[in-house]
């Protein structure tokens, strides 16, 4: 199993990414709600999305996306389904 390092960040997405040492094309796993996703999308820092749908309807929760003025086109790469009812969608961002 790969080791995951958790980091709390208070600076802008662009500044944070520029300070990371990303040799060997290492990936960043972004976990959070609409605010952090929106910040990375505005800075064009997301190459792909892996979105997992959990079969539970929530009354309230943390939104995944904010109201955005720019469309982001996605290309479907893969769909995985699990016996538990989970569905995982894997997309590349398109220019």
Report pLDDT digits (tens) over 51-66.
Answer: 999 998 888 877 788 8
Q: What is the dihedral of CA 11, 34, 7, 13, to 10 degrees?
A: -30
Q: For the residues 74-94, what does the mean pLDDT come to? A: 95
- Which CATH number does the domain housing residue 73 bear? 3.40.430.10
Report pLDDT digits (tens) over 36-52.
Answer: 888 888 888 888 999 99
* pLDDT value for 5: 66
Which has more confidence, 6 or 25?
A: 6
* pLDDT value for 1: 61
**Which among 35, 34, 28 is positioned nearest to 12, based on CA atoms?**
35
User: What's the structural domain count of the chain?
Assistant: 1
Query: Is the C-alpha dihedral spanning 8, 64, 70, 21 positive or negative?
Result: positive
Q: Is residue 7 part of a domain?
A: no
Per the listing, tokens 């997992």 go with: 52
Cα 48 to Cα 63: distance, rounded to the nearest angstrom: 18
Q: Is residue 2 part of a domain?
A: no
Domain carrying residue 71 = 13-93
Strand order through the sheet with 87-93: 48-53, 87-93, 74-81
Q: Are 12 and 39 in contact (CB under 8 A)?
A: yes
């Amino acid at each position: 199993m790969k080791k995951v390092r958790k980091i709390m960040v208070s600076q802008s997405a662009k500044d944070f990414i520029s300070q990371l040492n990303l040799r060997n094309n290492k990936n960043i796993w972004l976990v959070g709600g609409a605010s952090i996703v929106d910040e990375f999308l505005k800075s064009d820092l997301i190459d792909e999305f892996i979105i997992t749908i959990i079969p539970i309807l929530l009354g309230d929760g943390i939104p995944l996306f904010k109201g955005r003025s720019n469309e982001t086109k996605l290309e479907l790469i893969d769909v995985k389904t699990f016996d538990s009812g989970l569905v995982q969608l894997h997309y590349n961002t398109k220019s």
